[in-house]
Structure 1
Amino acid sequence: MLGGRWRRVASQIGRSVGVWAVSTLTMLVLAGLLPDFRLRSADGDSATDIAVTAAFGAGAFGLLSALVWPLLVRLLLLVPALVLGLLVFFLNGALLLLALRLNPGERGAAAPETAVVVAAVMSAVASATGAALAVRDDDAYRRRLYRLADRRRRAGPPCPAGPGTLFLQLDGVGHDVLVDAVGKGLMPTVARWLDGGRGRPPTHRLTPWRTDWSSQTGASQLGILHGSNHDVPAFRWYEKDRREVMVCNRPTSAAELQRRAVRHTGHDGLLGVDGASRGNLFSGGAGEQALVLSIAARRRSRENRSRAGYFAYFSDPANAVRTALSFVAEVAREIGQSTRARIDKARPHVSRGGLYPLVRAFATVVERDVVVAAVMGDMLAGRTAIYADLVAYDEVAHHSGPFGRDAGKVLQRLDRCLALIEKVAEHAPRPYRIVVLSDHGQSPGETFRSRYGLTLGDLVRAGCGLPVPRRARRTRSGAEARNAVRAALRRPVEEGTEDHRPPRRRSEPIVLASGNLGLVSFPDVPHRMSREEIDARHPALLPTLANHPGIGFLLVRSEEHGGVVLGARGVEIPLDRLDEDPGPLAPFGPGAADAVRRTHSFPHAADIMVNSFHDPADGEVLAFEEQIGSHGGLGGAQSRPFLLSPLVFSAPADDGAEIVGAEHVHRVLRRWLDESNGPQVPLETREERAA
């Protein structure tokens, strides 16, 4: 044992010397190439003096990177995460300038802008050299990966002998998209898991499941992690009793939704025992949390900081430089791809300018790298259950389309992440079972606004007799909205005339969009309005919406029937008759009626729930947001995510049965944890146990 320890020490010293030597050589090469970077005094020096200066500078830069850089990154936690990648270069350059100034001979000097370039190259070379020297040393490889961990288990009980489970969520990747990507060879790791190959049997099974009406991350992930997404009708909705718009990706809303789910189920969540939650909207009851939105609004302790995971990753300067370089490359890639789409006049199309290239780079590079590093650290720390979300595909597909070339490239990179995680699992202190799943898919189609020239809010205002914005009046669809109102009121449609009556002094409706799902609420009415009340107040509103060609169906409360679904040409189907006659729900496939009835039971369902048109022939929907790949309502692939699970687990559902809803997925994942390690989810919450 003692000999092995000395061998490890000698191996570590050897790698450090090797990295130092390569860094010194890199500094010498850069000094020869860059005119504003020198390693000699003004009077000139011998080759030996220059080499010594380079060796001293490389060593000092390495020590500063190891000792000072983590402190700088901790301070940078106060900086918005999107800005962090841009500061990496400048801070790294500042460390190099400091290293040169520490040289007692004062031979080295560099212009500030040159120092940034030199520091970036040296960090990248040092990282590559260290990885190459450690490639055959499992202990070194494991130690390096530990440095990527968000929080290591410094002390505590020994790692359990049973297998751990990783749940990795590929946000927005639908079942059909995954199958298509595997068929095209874009995801060889997933293909190998499903098909085996080279004489090996398959290791995983692929199972589709069906989302709730609200096919979006907030509802799905809350149900998956906490076992309940009751009263989450959409991504954003208005709550009359609290006079507040709830938005699933707002920290205060996420914290409130998590609190409600825990109260509803009576337990902390899927990860309540030795769990880690990474990059999610909700914690799942995990004791280890980083980049979790529901804790972002409270900073009571170090453990509750939502951005603590960034410190764990960026405390390694090599990680910082590599991710920053990838960030810049991704921004350039997005600009090039969007330019090509404009030149080719690709349709459908949405704007991809402004800050979007930076947002995309953050989601596809920074968030991905940090979350993957945290997951690897959790596995090497031996945590029992890990749930992480990678949002890269979802962000790109919104603007490029779910089957677009740009989105396909993202899937390739995600597959490489799976391969890396699989490799890390071989070095973990316990075996790991890797489950890959998605929270929803995406449905293609142009936006409601691009097809009809007005937004859902414009159409609602027209139906309420309120002024339609000038940008809508100047389009053919603006006239269409006004003509629909006249027809609903049985007034003649007159060409070339405008109705300029002032709006009545009533509170204007709140119109919110969640993909192709729209919600209309009247904030001055404290209860959920009935169909009869809406007709009495705005006689043209419901006919205007129901008869518009871009609308699939409406859901409203009815004093006579409890709830009704409205369609074009006066179709009205009570909810309890939808199984006999689905009416306007027919194009949305099986399960649509149950999803609508469930949402109708929610206390905070909107006065009018609006689902866009859906063409089952091509799977297209019309998003009420500016997205050509959308999700949030019913229609197409958005409601059909996947579950990729190891064969060692029991089948997700009985033969022929379908997994319906995120709460059902929670029960499946909980059963798998029980199969691996016994009952995992306590029957009471942490608060109840503390009491």
Structure 2
Amino acid sequence: MRLRVFPPGLPGGVPRHWRSFGATVLRVLAVWAVSTLTLLVLAGILPDFRLQSPEAGNSATYIATTAAIGAGVFGLLGAVVWPVLVRALLLVPALVLGTLVFFLNGSLLWLALSLVPYGSGSADPGTAVVVAAAMSAASSAAGTALAVRDDGAYRRRLARLADRRRRREGLGPAPRTPGTVFLQLDGVGHGLLREAVTGGAGGEPALMPTVAAMYGATHRLTPWRTDWPSQTGASQLGILHGSNKDVPAFRWYEKGSGEVLISNRPSGAAELQRRAVEETGDRGLLALDGASRGNLFTGGAGQVALVVAVAARRGRENRSRAGYVAYFSDPANATRTAVSFVAEVVRELIQSTRSRLRGERPRVPRGGLYPLIRAFATVVQRDVVVAAVLGDVFSGRSAVFADLVAYDEVAHHSGPRGSDAKKVLRRLDRSVALIAKAARRAPRPYRIVLLSDHGQSAGQTFRAAYGLTLEDLVRAGCGLPVSRRVGRTPSGAEARAAARAALHRPESGPQNEERTPSRSAGPVVLASGNLGLVSFPDVPGRMSREQVDKRHPTLLRTLADHPGIGFLLLHSEQHGPVVLGGGGAEHRLDTGEITGGPDPLAPFGPGAADAVRRTAGFRNVPDIMINSVIDPESGAVHAFEQQIGSHGGLGGEQNDAFLLSPRELSAPSGEEELVGAERVHLVLRRWLNEAAGAAVPASRARDENAPAAPDGEAPAAPDREFPAAPDRESPAARPA
């Protein structure tokens, strides 16, 4: 018996485009029905919401018709007017935009009811906000459920979106070579990730099941050691642009300009990126068909969203909040994220109150704007970045790099292994799962690489442990006035007494407590986690150890002998870069000679000397760099900021980052340890080159449910090779 073969489309010869059109009409009608039913239910249970005037009759047909027209007009306004409103509000701060979403949605509902041709539906402003949010949520859930059930329509829609975007950008069909998605889990250290994917010792399930499945089946986990400083600005600049030279901290004072450069400010990030491109002569890791999402730097990508380095630029493509337009243009997205934003603020308030009532230690204040900042990092930034990555995957981009900052923000205030931070890890795992599922339906195969920029080290803050800030200690060591509170602490009193004795000043008393010494205008003291920086603005160039000793005879010993300080880095006119420790110990970095006591760098591990030596050669290193002490058993450090989970210096898990890469890619390194963000950049570039040359057979180019290429179509040519790094000495081998 001969089987009948039908043309593409429905059995019986119905063309595919008619089938797609019919399915679309049915989905629209179904969503409309759900919205109408939601409106009717809300009108029945909310006393301040009516679909008819009191004088009108109670005809069920009349009420249902009013609800149907109102739901239809509301949906139409959401599709037409909402995108215009979002574009008009691009200049509104992100935190404010999250609140405005509710009121704008409520205004659209009020407008929809007023446009109903008969009847007199009404709602007060507060009720309109609630009704609009409920309707958006219901219609979004209905649309998602219908799309999931109709896999064929879902795949065809994604294919059309991808082909349309590629044609608009002149890229042609998606290639068969693999694309690569780099997902940076900000602040997640190697040890923490290993615990999250292997479960507890008592047989507890994995905290991150999606990542655990990757780790157990398709990916390899590799640790890498960060530079000094261990913070996002330095690490991500090195990873994306191949150089983090002259980045000594998260923030530092530059004597040349007389300003503090902060790496997560638009002006600071743009300047750091400019310097890195100038140093390498290369645009960055993502220069070829790449996208940068939620990062500090672009990496040379042509497509950016929520990238700090371009936030100050003009132009539609470079506006830092351009990613908000694509995401919030869908009122359902806006409502869902706004609701989650409010829920996260409430969650933080409950968690911080519970921590305070339980008397948990260590603990830092979590009031002020922090609940809003946390909600933005864990909800808004996550949702917008994940949506942008999904769009990149569906469009078939060759390389995508995205930063998910949620864990890092929460761990700073709740602790790296606190219950609050662990809940964020679970939610991040769901984001990874969403991207992984999308990658399986993309028009080209994708390799997903997870990585981190640093870890986090726990510990009590320096101020909580010793009763004074680092700035207080530095000023006391210089003989400068500090507050009476500091003078009453053991550390502050000892430092002040030593400074006064060395300067031959009388003992402190009421008559001279606040007298300002005339020797100096005072140092600039900054902090980056457990890394401190001291600069004397009135002295041009970098001060030498000898100059500091001459000007402030007790300062260096006050700092080095303090129980909360691990070591100091200075430049000696006689010995070059030197590290000072307690009791007069010195480590002369150029020669490796150690004098006066045990090596002050020994507690920080075998790679500490190389990391400090490299940073000592930066042209803008401050006069004095200070690293807190480390507990050799627990790995705890003392942050000079209000953080109980910190990073920025040396010590503990903050220096242990990770790479989780597909086994089909070459191993990140051989037997040697992978050290430094610049080395990681070379590894990621090598993987992009491997992907560009790895033609995937047609049978493996898509998963079994993805649409196949038309008969007779030749496989797409491989991507062009990603440009190699400029011909220069390896960053790992280059002298600092």
Question: TM (normalized to structure 2)?
Answer: 0.89
**Could you give the per-residue CA deviations for residues 412-437 of structure 1, whole angstroms, max 9, x where no partner exists?**
00001111111101110000000000
CA distance in 1, matches of 2:87, 2:326: 9
Distance 1:319 1:147, change over 3 A: farther
Task: Determine if the alignment matches structure 1 residue 590 to structure 2 residue 606.
Answer: yes
CA distance in 1, matches of 2:156, 2:114: 32
Task: Determine if the alignment matches structure 1 residue 607 to structure 2 residue 623.
Answer: yes
**Could you give the per-residue CA deviations for residues 56-115 of structure 1, whole angstroms, max 9, x where no partner exists?**
000000000011000011111110011111111100000000000001113311111111
CA shift for structure 1 position 350:
0.2
Q: Which residue of 2 aligns with 1:261?
A: 276
**Could you give the per-residue CA deviations for residues 559-578 of structure 1, whole angstroms, max 9, x where no partner exists?**
00011110111112211243
CA distance in 2, matches of 1:176, 1:628: 18
CA distance in 1, matches of 2:36, 2:153: 22
CA shift for structure 1 position 481:
2.6
Q: Which residue of 2 aligns with 1:531?
A: 545
Q: Which residue of 2 aligns with 1:657?
A: 672
CA distance in 2, matches of 1:458, 1:338: 28
Distance 1:143 1:533, change over 3 A: farther
Q: Which residue of 2 aligns with 1:58?
A: 71
CA distance in 2, matches of 1:153, 1:525: 56
Task: Determine if the alignment matches structure 1 residue 20 to structure 2 residue 32.
Answer: yes
Q: Which residue of 1 aligns with 2:209?
A: 188
CA contact (8 A) 1:268 1:684 kept: no
Moved more, 473-482 or 320-329: 473-482
Match of 2:101 among 43, 65, 88: 88
Match of 2:249 among 215, 226, 234: 234
CA contact (8 A) 1:271 1:681 kept: no
CA contact (8 A) 1:459 1:545 kept: yes
CA distance in 1, matches of 2:372, 2:165: 31
CA distance in 1, matches of 2:666, 2:648: 30
CA contact (8 A) 2:102 2:338 kept: yes
**2:146 aligned partner, one-letter code:** L
**Could you give the per-residue CA deviations for residues 166-189 of structure 1, whole angstroms, max 9, x where no partner exists?**
000000001111112222421001
CA distance in 2, matches of 1:616, 1:373: 43
CA distance in 2, matches of 1:328, 1:134: 28
Q: Which residue of 1 aligns with 2:531?
A: 517
**1:273 aligned partner, one-letter code:** L
**1:43 aligned partner, one-letter code:** E
CA contact (8 A) 2:479 2:500 kept: no
Match of 2:110 among 70, 94, 97: 97
CA contact (8 A) 1:138 1:427 kept: no
CA shift for structure 1 position 193:
1.0
CA distance in 2, matches of 1:273, 1:236: 31
CA distance in 1, matches of 2:30, 2:135: 14
CA distance in 2, matches of 1:482, 1:112: 61
**Could you give the per-residue CA deviations for residues 309-328 of structure 1, whole angstroms, max 9, x where no partner exists?**
01110000000000111111
Distance 1:111 1:502, change over 3 A: closer
CA distance in 1, matches of 2:262, 2:537: 17
Moved more, 341-350 or 39-48: 39-48
CA distance in 1, matches of 2:585, 2:286: 46
CA shift for structure 1 position 298:
1.1
Q: Which residue of 2 aligns with 1:436?
A: 450
State the identity %.
Answer: 69
**2:654 aligned partner, one-letter code:** Q
CA contact (8 A) 1:142 1:380 kept: no
SS in 2 for 1:663: helix
Q: Which residue of 2 aligns with 1:216?
A: 231
Q: List alignment gaps of at least 5 residues for structure 1.
A: 196-201, 686-691
CA distance in 2, matches of 1:55, 1:500: 74
Moved more, 240-249 or 211-220: 240-249
CA distance in 2, matches of 1:187, 1:302: 37
CA shift for structure 1 position 153:
3.8
CA shift for structure 1 position 505:
4.8
Q: Which residue of 2 aligns with 1:573?
A: 587
Q: List alignment gaps of at least 5 residues for structure 2.
A: 1-7, 10-14, 201-205, 694-720, 728-736
Task: Determine if the alignment matches structure 1 residue 10 to structure 2 residue 22.
Answer: yes
CA distance in 2, matches of 1:18, 1:514: 54
CA shift for structure 1 position 494:
9.2
CA distance in 2, matches of 1:614, 1:498: 37
CA contact (8 A) 1:216 1:440 kept: yes
CA distance in 1, matches of 2:648, 2:335: 37
CA shift for structure 1 position 539:
0.6
Task: Determine if the alignment matches structure 1 residue 461 to structure 2 residue 447.
Answer: no
**Could you give the per-residue CA deviations for residues 459-498 of structure 1, whole angstroms, max 9, x where no partner exists?**
1111111101233224343223324435767999999998
Q: Which residue of 2 aligns with 1:361?
A: 375
**2:374 aligned partner, one-letter code:** R
CA distance in 2, matches of 1:455, 1:545: 12
Alignment of 1:192-203 (within 5 A): 192-195=213-216, 202-203=217-218
Question: What's the RMSD between the two structures over aligned residues?
Answer: 2.1
SS in 2 for 1:620: coil
Match of 1:329 among 343, 353, 374: 343
CA contact (8 A) 2:586 2:600 kept: no
Q: Which residue of 1 aligns with 2:700?
A: none
Q: Which residue of 1 aligns with 2:705?
A: none
CA contact (8 A) 2:183 2:451 kept: yes
Q: Which residue of 1 aligns with 2:80?
A: 67
CA shift for structure 1 position 580:
6.8
Distance 1:494 1:97, change over 3 A: closer
Question: TM (normalized to structure 1)?
Answer: 0.95
Q: Which residue of 2 aligns with 1:120?
A: 133
**1:657 aligned partner, one-letter code:** E
Distance 1:488 1:26, change over 3 A: same
Distance 1:617 1:491, change over 3 A: farther
CA distance in 2, matches of 1:341, 1:623: 20
